[in-house]
Amino acid sequence: DAGVIQSPRHEVTEMGQEVTLRCKPISGHDYLFWYRQTMMRGLELLIYFNNNVPIDDSGMPEDRFSAKMPNASFSTLKIQPSEPRDSAVYFCASTRGVGADTQYFGPGTRLTVL
Amino acid sequence: AQSVAQPEDQVNVAEGNPLTVKCTYSVSGNPYLFWYVQYPNRGLQFLLKYITGDNLVKGSYGFEAEFNKSQTSFHLKKPSALVSDSALYFCAVRAGNTGFQKLVFGTGTRLLVSP
């Protein structure tokens, strides 16, 4: 298996622009997570899905952030409008929701908002 | 609510020496405990986990961790460090209840192994 795939790997944009991050989970995994990593806050869980349904979005910082999962093999995290404080590395992870739920992470998208 | 503490921001060790990266946790009920490693510009990689059974868990790359219930700790260890072990290490915990539970990650400990 190719593992969790994220695109783009790097994104540089200007404040106010819309940003869309993409994730393809591991086939057969029914849970998908979006995390954000910064030096100040460490690793934060933003939202997670089970069987394509958002379960907990309490970590989403504000209404500028939205996430969708239209099918089992694709999810997006959108920021509109983007701000400099959104600069971070965004990770997607997936797992099968049985047993101990080991999560498998993608390589991340490094977002820079100027 | 569950939580994880990694008391050391950085651990320095010479190559060939044993290493320990500390983790303590707080959770209701029995814990599921994990260690992940993150190399520069990469995602987190799973190292090992404790669910039940033997308190000493062996994982990838020669790492092991010891679950200590009385001290609520799950320290990561390796008998002989390699320069290539230099990375950021995260401890994580979830409650071992039935059904899905979120993972809570620690703040990470940077391991620096010098030649």
Which tens digit of pLDDT belongs to each residue from A5-53?
Answer: 999 999 999 999 999 999 999 999 999 999 999 988 888 999 999 999 9
Return the pLDDT at B90.
96
State how far the Cα of B81 lies from the Cα of B14, in Å rounded to an integer.
Answer: 7
Q: How far is A107 from chain B (nearest CA, A)?
A: 4
Return the pLDDT at A60.
94
Q: Does B85 have pLDDT greater than 60? A: yes
State how far the Cα of B96 lies from the Cα of A39, in Å rounded to an integer.
Answer: 29
Structure tokens at A84: 């400099």
Whether residues A103 and B46 touch (CB distance < 8 A) is answered with yes
Confidence of residue B98 (pLDDT cuts 50, 70, 90): low
Q: Does B80 have pLDDT greater than 80? A: yes
Sequence letter at residue A37: Q
Residues 73-102 of A with CB under 8 A from B: 91, 93, 97, 99-102
Decide if A48 touches B, using CB distance below 8 A.
yes
The B-side interface with A (CB below 8 A) comprises 32, 34, 36, 41-46, 49, 51, 90, 94, 100-103, 105-108
CA distances from B16 to A30, B4, B35, B82, B102 (A): 41, 29, 21, 6, 36
From A57, A53, A55, A111, select the one nearest A87 (Cα to Cα). Answer: A111
Torsion on CA atoms B12, B14, B19, B20, rounded to nearest 10: -20
Sheet containing A5-7, strands listed edge to edge, beginning at the edge strand earlier in sequence: A5-7, A19-24, A74-79, A65-71
